Amino acid sequence: MNKSLLFGVALLAVAPLAAQASCESVKADISQKIINNGVAESNFKLDIVANDQANQAGGQVVGHCENDTQKIVYTKLSNGGDESAASPQTGTSQDSSSQ
């Protein structure tokens, strides 16, 4: 009985850590969805920024990670990936609670 109880407590303690996706995996998932919608990989970039810097990133928030402490910002690029010619797309946050 003690081993079952100890295992249960340990499982409950580790479960929240497993549920939080890393920012890189969330960014990769979002990138794949954008590519699947017909946008070339060289025509956009995704940046991971702190919540307080999301409005200054010059793009549109498309996701969040690390227990909602980081935002993933989408920026549309012109000239096939030339970041110096980036044309930021501004708008409202498109966060969803399922990310």
The whole-angstrom separation of Cα 77 and Cα 88 is 7
Please check whether residue 74 lies inside any domain of the structure: yes
Confidence of residue 83 (pLDDT cuts 50, 70, 90): low
- On the question of pLDDT at 85 being above 50, the answer is no
Say if 6 falls within a structural domain: no
Query: Does residue 4 lie within any of the structural domains?
Result: no
Give one DSSP letter per residue of 28-50, joined into a string.
Answer: HHHHHHHHHTT--GGGEEEEEEE
Domain that holds residue 35: 21-99
| Torsional class of 71: left (φ above 0), alpha (ψ -120 to 50), beta (otherwise) | beta
Cα-Cα-Cα-Cα dihedral sign, residues 16, 68, 75, 60: positive
Is residue 5 domain-resident?
no
Q: How far is CA 96 from the centre of its chain?
A: 11
Tell whether 8 is covered by a domain: no
The model carries a pTM of 0.61
Specify the number of domains making up the chain: 1
